[in-house]
Amino acid sequence: MVAVYNFLYTLLVFLYLPVFVLTNRKKGYRSDIRERFVLYSDSSKENTLWFHCASIGELNVAYPVIERLKEKHNILITVSSPRGKDFALKKYPYATVRSVPLDLPFLIKRFVDIYRPSALIITEGEFWLNLVVKTSERIPVLSINTRVSPSSFSFYRRFTPIYRKILNSFSRFLVRSEKDLKYLSFFVPEDKLVLCGDLKFVSSSQKKDLFLDKKGKKVIVAGSTHDPEEKVLITIYKNLRLKYPDLRLIIAPRHLERLDQIKKLLEEERLSFSLRTETDRLDSDVYIIDTIGELSGIYRYADVVFVGGTIAPVGGHNILEPAVEGKPVVIGNHYEKIEDLYRFLKKFNAVFSVNDGKEMEKLIDRLLEEGFKPELDISKYQEKILNCYIKNIEEYLV
C-alpha cells in the first residue's frame, strides 16, 4: 500500500507541478519549487520545534501555542501554500519558515536531517503519509486541535489500512471535541487521545487594535454576510430604528467583490452609508467594512452581533470571535459547519439561533432593550485549554 501511494503521488506531482507553478505565478506568488524538493542547505539550531500549519487558518490557530513555546525553543514552521508562507513570514518574524517538502520519503528525511527538530507538531488535519510516518521514525509527532469531519472519517475508513498506519505513527492527538475523539478512537488506542478543547477559543482573542467612533450609539454588527443576509438585516434595522433612533448597522461582507451589490441595495432602501476606508465615524445609517482582517476588532463595538453564512445555506462562519468579546451572537439555522461550537456556546446562552427574520428581529430587540451579560468566563476557559496543550506537548520535549 505504501509503495502504491508513493508511486501514484510521484506521478501526480510531475503531472500537476506545471499547473501549480503557473497558477501561483498568475496570483503573484512564488511556488518555491527548490524548497519543496529541499534543494538547499541550512544550519540547524538547538531545541528546534517544528510546526506544520497548512495555511493561514492553521497558522492562526497555532499562534498561542507557538507564542508560549518560543521562549524555550527555536521555531521552525512549514506551510503548504505560497499565500500561507507570506502570511507566516509576517506573523512569525522570529521563526524559520519553509514550504513543506513534497510528501516523498527521501525529501522528508533530508528535511529532518537539515533541521534536527526535537518534535513535529501538526495543526488540525494534515495526515500526509511520509510527513507523519517517516518523521515519526526519528522524532515524536503530535497533532494539535485535531479535526476529523464526518466526510473525512468516511474517507479514512475507506482506506483503513493506510490511515491506521498514518494515525498510529502519531505519539499523541490533542483534540478539540468529543466528536473528533470518537472518530479517532476507531483507528488509534485511547491512550494516544487527549481532549483539550478547541484552540480557536484561544486564538480568536487575536485582533487588531482599531478605533471606531461609536459615540454612544447602539450597534448591530453583521459579520461575514452572504446574499440575501444583508437584505434581512437591513429590514430588521429599518424596523428597529423606529424604536432606537441612534441605532446603527455595520455590515462586513464575507466577499468584498459584493460591495457594489450591497451599495446598490442600500441606495434602493434609501439608507445612507459610509465605508471603513473613508471614515472611522458612525455618522451614516450603515457602515460597511471594506477592509480585510479588521472584523474581529470591530466586534468589540457591537451591542448585538449577527454572524453570516447561517441564513444563506453556507453552514456558518466564526462565532467565536464575537463570543470571546462577550457579545450576544445571533445566527440563522444553517450552522452545520460550526455545530460543535454552537452547542458549546449555547449551553452558556452566548449564541442564539433563529428560524427567520421575524424571530431575529424580536430577539435583537430584546437584547438591545435588556442588554447582555455573558455567563461564560472566556478568559478562564482559554487558559485551561492552552495549558492542556502546552502540558501535553512539553511531555515529549524533555
123-170 pLDDT, tens per residue? Answer: 998 999 999 999 999 999 999 999 998 899 999 999 999 999 999 999
- Name the domain count of the chain: 2
- Those residues whose C-beta lies under 8 Å from the C-beta of residue 120, and which sit 6 or more positions away, are 50, 51, 52, 131, 135, 139, 140, 141, 142
Taking the C-alpha atoms of residue 209 and residue 96, their distance in angstroms, rounded to an integer, is 27
388 lies in a domain? no
Which CATH number belongs to the domain containing residue 290 in this structure?
3.40.50.2000
Which CATH number belongs to the domain containing residue 176 in this structure?
3.40.50.11720
**Active-site annotation holds for 58:** yes
197: Cα separation from own chain's centroid: 14
- Is the pLDDT at 302 greater than 90? The verdict is yes
Both 186 and 224 in a single domain? no
Cell of 199: 484552540
In this structure, which amino acid lies at residue 109? K
Both 189 and 88 in a single domain? yes
Taking all residues of the chain, what is their mean pLDDT, rounded to a whole number? 93
Task: Please identify, among 153, 180, 195, the residue that sits at the C-terminal boundary of a domain.
Answer: 195
Both 145 and 188 in a single domain? yes
Both 168 and 242 in a single domain? no
- Is the pLDDT at 30 greater than 90? The verdict is no
What is the average pLDDT across 263-278? 97
What is the average pLDDT across 355-369? 97
4 lies in a domain? no
The closest of 84, 172, 85 to 121, measured between CA atoms, is: 172
Both 104 and 228 in a single domain? no
3 lies in a domain? no
**Domain that residue 243 falls in:** 219-373
Per-residue pLDDT at 362: 98
91 lies in a domain? yes
- Those residues whose C-beta lies under 8 Å from the C-beta of residue 374, and which sit 6 or more positions away, are 323, 326, 348, 350
- Is the pLDDT at 234 greater than 90? The verdict is yes
Question: Where residue 106 falls among pLDDT bands split at 50, 70, 90?
Answer: very high
Bridge partners (DSSP) listed for residue 303: none
Both 32 and 91 in a single domain? yes
Both 139 and 266 in a single domain? no
383 lies in a domain? no
Secondary structure of residue 370 in the 3-state scheme:
helix
126 lies in a domain? yes
Residue of higher predicted confidence among 333 and 397: 333
- Is the pLDDT at 203 greater than 90? The verdict is no
Cell of 150: 464526518
Per-residue pLDDT at 340: 83
Both 57 and 189 in a single domain? yes
Global pTM value? 0.79
384 lies in a domain? no
Both 241 and 352 in a single domain? yes
Where does residue 304 fall: left (phi above 0), alpha (psi -120 to 50 degrees), or beta otherwise? beta
What is the average pLDDT across 68-93? 94
Question: Where residue 376 falls among pLDDT bands split at 50, 70, 90?
Answer: confident
What is the average pLDDT across 287-313? 95
341 lies in a domain? yes
Whether residue 322 contacts residue 238, with contact meaning beta carbons closer than 8 Å, is answered with no
Both 65 and 186 in a single domain? yes
Question: Where residue 25 falls among pLDDT bands split at 50, 70, 90?
Answer: confident
Both 258 and 346 in a single domain? yes
Whether residue 32 contacts residue 85, with contact meaning beta carbons closer than 8 Å, is answered with yes
Catalytic residue among 58, 124, 321, 361: 58
Both 189 and 332 in a single domain? no
